[in-house]
């Protein structure tokens, strides 16, 4: 019976002949590949592909939702809330 040579088998045989230092580099490279793949998936999650005049274009979530940005109603101006909370905290400190 002949053994089927696959990429997995080739990689395993090659790895067996590496030094410890080379194995560390291989492991680091594998981790990099996983990191790169995860970032690509995250990027694709936040991008939407739209078609304009037959051309495909990637747009971000923020660009896609720009018509809704700033349309939330509330009791206070959220841009000033941080300053208000600082004043409240300072007043509490002064009372002690």
| 19-48 pLDDT per residue, tens | 999 999 999 999 998 888 877 766 666 566
pLDDT at 91 over 80: no
Its pTM stands at 0.40
> SS3 of 76, please?
coil
Q: Look-up: residue for tokens 């939702």?
A: 65
Helix (H) or strand (E) holding 52: strand 47-52
| Largest CA-CA distance found in the chain, in angstroms, rounded | 87
How far out from the chain centre does Cα 22 lie?
A: 29
C-alpha span between 25 and 19 (Å, rounded): 10
């Amino acid at each position: 019976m002949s053994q089927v040579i696959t990429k997995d088998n080739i990689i395993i045989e090659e790895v067996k002949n590496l030094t410890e230092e080379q194995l560390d580099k291989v492991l680091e490279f594998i981790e990099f590949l996983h990191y790169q793949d995860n970032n690509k998936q995250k990027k694709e999650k936040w991008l939407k592909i739209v078609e304009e005049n037959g051309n495909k274009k990637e747009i971000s979530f923020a660009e896609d939702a720009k018509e809704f940005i700033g349309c939330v109603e509330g009791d206070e101006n959220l841009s000033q809330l941080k300053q208000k909370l600082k004043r409240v905290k300072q007043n509490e400190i002064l009372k002690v």
